[in-house]
Amino acid sequence: MITGKRERTKAANRAAILQAAREVFADIGYGAATIRDIVRRTDLATGTFYNYFPDKESVLTALLDETAGEARMRVQAARRQGTTLEAFVRDGFEAYFDFLLEDRETSELLSRNAGTIRALFQEPSLVAGVEELAEDLRAGVVAGLIPDHDVEYMAASMVGAAFEIGSRMLEHENPDPARATEFISNLFIAGLKAARI
């Protein structure tokens, strides 16, 4: 379907605002950033910003939706290919940490704004990751791949720990996703083996 010029312009304007916000939030942090800082990195007028977003938080939420959606897709695909408990856990975490390092702007955005992102953990795009993991854990229990346990607690724990370890990893001058994967995988593999409800 071919879109008209107006639709293409709207899409380009929204993309320009999101890209500018990603850069600003990565450079100076969400707390210090203003809408004016974001608009200055585009060729748009300040008023145009408000045609797309009501405030700064909505821009951050849109960026997190994009990032979380891509991360969830990759992590879930990696997890679902696992045919053992170890592969299920390790491959999912590895996909997440590798994703964090693929795009330096996204890495900087997440690293610089970890506290703000923690406060948004109830956003639908972030909650969806916990729900998807819980579904996969349930399926693993039914298939006999994973010991029976409280999947809700385990899913929340795994997502929260991955975010925190990923944030720590990104603070290092030379981030080591293999080290992060090894640490968190050993922790949760042991926990899942020991868990019984």
Q: Give the pTM.
A: 0.86
Q: Torsion over CA of 2, 4, 7 and 13, rounded to 10 degrees?
A: 100
DSSP state of 174: S
Architecture, CATH, for domain 1-54? Orthogonal Bundle (1.10)
Question: What pLDDT is recorded for position 126?
Answer: 79
The mean pLDDT values, 10 residues at a time, for the chain of 197 residues are 80 95 94 96 94 95 90 94 95 96 84 88 83 95 93 94 93 93 97 78
Q: Taking the domains of the chain in order of start, what are their residue ranges? A: 1-54, 56-194
Indicate the class that CATH gives domain 56-194. mainly alpha
Q: For residue 139, report the phi and psi dihedrals to the nearest 5 degrees.
A: -60, -40
